[in-house]
Amino acid sequence: MRRIRPEEVARARKDPRLLDAAEYRSGTPGAYRMSADDWLRRGNCAEAEPDVMYPEPREPIDEALAMCASCPVRTPCLVRALEARDRHGVWGATAPRERRAMIEVWKDINPLAVGA
């Protein structure tokens, strides 16, 4: 796995998806559960084939990102991925590469982050 570049981390700090996730997480202390079935079942990807959301490296992820674009649970999905430090698959309309930089920022901005 390649190293995260400082400019990627700087970009992640300003990413509206990450900022929305941090705001969402700070508004749900103690009540948030990463595996809560109530939001998982409402995701646009709930019926998707796993290969769509977990493509092989270098395979296109456009279909998954399009599915995420209008997903009603996109933000809690991203929070789940950040808290679990999930670096695989498409979560919360983010590619694994984007999320690696977001995870670095998440540790700094979210004192409730798992394993921080």
Give the per-residue pLDDT at 29. 62
Average pLDDT over residues 91-110: 92
Structure tokens at 94: 């983010």
Better-scored residue on pLDDT, 110 or 104: 104
Integer Cα distance of 2 and 51 in angstroms: 23
- Average pLDDT over the chain, rounded to an integer: 86
Give the per-residue pLDDT at 28. 72
Residues 6+ apart with CB under 8 A from 59: none
DSSP collapsed to 3 states, 23-84: HHHHCCCCCCCCCCHHHHCCCCCCCCCHHHHCCCCCCCCHHHHHHHHCCCCHHHHHHHHHHC
Give per-residue pLDDT as tens, 7-30. Answer: 999 999 999 999 999 998 888 766
Integer Cα distance of 34 and 114 in angstroms: 10
Which residue positions form the known binding site for [4Fe-4S] cluster? 45, 68, 71, 77
Domain ranges of the chain: 6-109
Which residue positions form the known binding site? 45, 68, 71, 77
Query: Using an 8 Å Cβ cutoff, are 64 and 90 in contact?
Result: yes
This prediction's pTM: 0.86
Give per-residue pLDDT as tens, 53-65. Answer: 999 988 999 999 9
Closest CA to 105 of 37, 2, 21, 38: 21
Q: Which residue has tokens 């969402």?
A: 24
